Structure 1
Amino acid sequence: MSVGTILSGCSRAPADGGANVSQLDGGAQGPASSAGIATEAKFTQGSRVDRGFVVDDSLDVGGRTLHFSLHVPDGYDGSAAYRLYVSCPGWEGLYFQGVGANLVEDFPFVANDYIPNMIVASPQLDDWGQQSADDVVALTEWLLATYNIDAGHVYLSGNSGGGETISLVLGQRPDLYRRALHTISRWDGNLDVLTDAQVPVYMAIGLHDDYYGSDPDRATYQQICDAYRQKGLTDAQISELVVLDVKPDSYFTDHGRSAGASQHAGGGALFPHDSDIMGWLFRD
């Protein structure tokens, strides 16, 4: 199997199941800082189920309606704190594409293979900009306030346009998340806020990604490295905080993709099934 160019420690980059329908039997609630949004928000539970996810939940908060899919494991009864994973889809999963279109991506469905006792949410956003970033923050805070969540183990990922969105999220509320996975995307968010919070980030993309290219991630990686060096961190410390994984052409062909096929689409299909990538996100 081909191995990508995986950089950590700031090396220089080379040029080249069944749903738990009683979702709101929450038990103990999350942090007090998130409690306000729970009292302000109006939740409407959906009725459609897809592979263990209630597809069409909605939350009215701040004059907006947030649409999302939610999986609460059958064993959850509120007595023990569960972890939380928020997975933001790309353009094909936005709300205008149709209810449940976010679940064409496999990221939400593989999460419980790594951590069984984890609630998984997949928002259907309106775009990949600031309003959607605000919506992700609002949804995360509502989930923290509504369910018994281990607030120290909240994971975030974004694929393609969703990666742009989570970069904005991490540029405003990185304190909500333990780790973040940024796939086939580019970084739009505030790196000063991210590096002040020292939230670990893994960026994965194809060498010849046909939508973004790999150069934006390389540049972001170097900026993050430089910021951490200015803070006095060692390369060993930095390697725990940022990883750049640029997959070569052979990665895609070795995984059954045709030579010359879209690496952007290929990354979206292959990365959720790459245990090195997903294992990093959920490793602690």
Structure 2
Amino acid sequence: MVNKRLVFTVTGMIIFVAVILGYVHFSKISRNEKKVNQQTMSQTQTIQQADTETEKEEVNASGDELENVTAGSEEYRGFLLDNVLHSPNEGDIHYNVYIPDAYDGTKEYALYVTLPGYQGLYFQGVGENIRTEDFGFEAQKYITDMIIVAPQLNDWGQTSADQTIELTQYFLTHYIINPSKVYINGYSGGGETLSLVLAKQPELYTAALMCSSQWDGAYEPVVEMKTPVYFVIGESDEYYGSEPFKEAYQQIHELYKEQGLSESEIDKLVVLDVKDKDYFEGTPVTYQHGGGYLFCRDKEIMGWLFNQ
């Protein structure tokens, strides 16, 4: 007869040993899992730290880029005056700028650069270009979602042309700009600067408006890139006369003709608009060279520019 007490004792010992072995086994698994979890957390923290450092680098890089500009402190009719782009290549570039309140960097905006005549150069006084010329204000009637840059340059030669290019490239790089909607105009001396800009980098601009000025640059780059240009001037402009624009138009027209373009195709790329004395009669403009006052308010002229 089996001793029941012995059976219970042996069974109890077996259960006890099984519990101990199970505890050791699961403790080992738990330690391994904990070790794996710790390694995973460590790796995750390392990755997160790396991401944070990358973000910091990106922020710092952005900050360094923004440090290249000293922002102005005075406003005039929505324009922030006397901002300065500190270019290592072109020196300090002074400009006034209008940025719509809705701009938040989430969608592309048009860009418009307006170059002043002699009376708007920087030595004439901060903001004189937009106080004496209304191109930047009239432009807002055609495209509301548009950043407008009004440089205050120091001359109407190559230095100002290079600074205009540098400033345009800055805005194309640092703002969300639609590259197919980049417009530029130049009035009087600003038109001379504009011709030099177009002779160097016409590909930056969708279309150009030349007002009461003359062409100083080469023609071939403009024709090669097919950048549309509109010439407008008074027939008896007191400063330039209308002949320089007529000559520039003819030169560009002939180059397109040599390329085999039809007259209708050429008409879309270059326009000559010479205003006779009747255009100025009964207006606040008492001399034709001051035609910029009227040209920027002319829907046909400004509409041509912003419909390109």
TM-score, normalised by the number of residues in structure 1: 0.84
Counterpart of 1:86?
Answer: 113
Cα deviation for residue 256 of structure 1 reads: 4.7
Establish whether residue 264 from structure 1 lines up as the match of residue 292 from structure 2: no
Cα deviation for residue 142 of structure 1 reads: 0.3
Give me the whole-angstrom Cα distance separating, in 2, the residues matched to 1:210 and 1:269. 15
Give me the whole-angstrom Cα distance separating, in 1, the residues matched to 2:67 and 2:117. 25
Does the 8 Å contact 1:167/1:187 carry over to 2?
A: yes
Structure 2 residue runs of 5 or longer lacking an equivalent are 1-60
Q: Percent identity?
A: 48
Counterpart of 2:85?
Answer: 59
Select the structure with the greater relative contact order (CA < 8 A; seq sep ≥ 6): 1
Counterpart of 2:304?
Answer: 280
Does the 8 Å contact 1:40/1:61 carry over to 2?
A: no
Equivalent of residue 221 in structure 1, options 249, 257, 266: 249
TM-score, normalised by the number of residues in structure 2: 0.77
Q: Which structure 1 residue ranges, 4+ long, deviate > 2 Å from structure 2?
A: 38-41, 254-257
Aligned to 1:153, what secondary structure does the other structure show?
strand
- Superposed CA offset, 1:214-255 (max 9, x none): 011001111111000011111010000000000000000043
Counterpart of 2:279?
Answer: 251
Structure 1 residue runs of 5 or longer lacking an equivalent are 1-34
Give me the whole-angstrom Cα distance separating, in 2, the residues matched to 1:250 and 1:41. 51
Give me the whole-angstrom Cα distance separating, in 2, the residues matched to 1:225 and 1:150. 28
Alpha carbon RMSD of aligned pairs, Å?
Answer: 1.7
Does the 8 Å contact 1:86/1:155 carry over to 2?
A: yes
Task: Report the CA distance shift for 1:124/1:210 in structure 2 as closer, same or farther (over 3 A).
Answer: same
Give me the whole-angstrom Cα distance separating, in 2, the residues matched to 1:114 and 1:269. 17
Counterpart of 1:24?
Answer: none
Counterpart of 1:96?
Answer: 123
Give me the whole-angstrom Cα distance separating, in 2, the residues matched to 1:194 and 1:126. 25
Equivalent residue runs for 1:140-151 within 5 Å: 140-151=168-179
Equivalent of residue 188 in structure 2, options 141, 146, 160: 160
Counterpart of 1:48?
Answer: 74
Amino acid at match of 1:47: S
Equivalent of residue 105 in structure 1, options 133, 136, 157: 133
Equivalent of residue 161 in structure 2, options 122, 130, 133: 133
Equivalent of residue 189 in structure 1, options 217, 220, 228: 217
Give me the whole-angstrom Cα distance separating, in 1, the residues matched to 2:284 and 2:151. 30
Task: Report the CA distance shift for 1:206/1:98 in structure 2 as closer, same or farther (over 3 A).
Answer: same
Does the 8 Å contact 1:56/1:100 carry over to 2?
A: yes
- Superposed CA offset, 1:22-44 (max 9, x none): xxxxxxxxxxxxx9xx9497101
Does the 8 Å contact 1:41/1:61 carry over to 2?
A: no
Establish whether residue 70 from structure 1 lines up as the match of residue 94 from structure 2: no
Larger Rg: 2
> Which is helix-richer, 1 or 2?
2
